[in-house]
Amino acid sequence: MADALRGRIKALDVSIHSAAVYGRVVNALSAHGHRPTVEVRPDWYY
């Protein structure tokens, strides 16, 4: 299914609650070839 969806899904933005995990998230995503916009948003919750 992932192959069928590849190229059809728009890039998603990723909101991070704290700067403490920002680097971990960016490194984890880029290690798998993903490069969405990642931003720290302390007001964001879920």
From residue 20, give the alpha-carbon distance in Å to each of 8, 14, 16.
Answer: 32, 15, 9
For residues 6 and 16, which has the higher predicted lDDT (pLDDT)?
A: 16
pTM over 0.75: no
Residue 46 lies in a domain: no
Residue 36 lies in a domain: yes
At 46 the pLDDT is: 59
- Which residue do the tokens 């995990």 mark? 21
| Other Cβ atoms closer than 10 A to 24 | 10
Task: Report yes or no on 19 lying in a domain.
Answer: yes
**pLDDT at residue 17 is higher than 70:** yes
Q: 31 in a domain, yes or no?
A: yes
Our count of domains for the chain comes to: 1
Residue 43 reports pLDDT greater than 70:
yes
Specify if 24 maps to a domain.
yes
Any domain includes 7? yes
Residue span of the structural domain in which 23 resides:
2-40
